[in-house]
Structure 1
């Protein structure tokens, strides 16, 4: 049994289908003619086209965006490091204060 694969449609294909749909052609007839799995695809493309224009029909890059390697190699400034450490220590003091308060409540 062959596994059905997901068809990928080119930008031009989608744009042509949307323009024909907007010109008044039936989405069912278009889906049959273009051999689409569902007429809802044309509706979806038309919504994307109305919301984002032609760029909405273009293929989006897959996966997580690449990070800038230079940004991670830049050393952290002394002030930034001290501020981060100060914030961590404040959180630690607040936590220990709450633990101490809970212990004091437990004692009769």
Structure 2
């Protein structure tokens, strides 16, 4: 019985994008897999689905085995982006008001 650990090969987002673009252009998935040394041509089909759903960003995201965890992560990211946008909106207006006050003081002198 072997105690060797299984190693997994990872692929860069750039390689995934190039493989997807070539597949969408009509090139054979097997040929693309062989050219890029991709161990399983089915990966390219998965990347194509991710690309169609999320665009290029989908090729950079790490997909989790549990779909609910992935959905929770997306929701958390969106909530953080919304909070950030709100802070920028609030403090952005405050900064504009301070700037106008300074300009008024300068013009009064």
Counting matched residue pairs gives 66
The structure, 1 or 2, with the larger RCO (C-alpha pairs under 8 Å, 6+ apart) is 1
Q: Based on CA coordinates, which of the two structures has the bigger radius of gyration?
A: 1
Higher helix share: 2
TM-score (norm 1): 0.52
5 Å-filtered alignment, 1:4-19, equals: 4-19=6-21
Deviation of 1:59 after TM superposition, in Å, equals 3.3
State which of 45, 55, 65 in structure 1 corresponds to 2:57: 55
Residues 52/23 of structure 1: CA separation in 2 closer, same or farther (3 Å cut): same
Unaligned segments of structure 1, at least 5 residues: 66-108
Partner of 2:107: none
Partner of 2:22: 20
5 Å-filtered alignment, 1:1-108, equals: 3-60=5-62
Once superposed, what is the RMSD of the aligned Cα atoms?
2.5
Q: Deviations over 1:47-69 (max 9, x none)?
A: 1100111111003398997xxxx
Unaligned segments of structure 2, at least 5 residues: 74-109
Q: Deviations over 1:63-106 (max 9, x none)?
A: 997xxxxxxxxxxxxxxxxxxxxxxxxxxxxxxxxxxxxxxxxx
TM-score (norm 2): 0.51
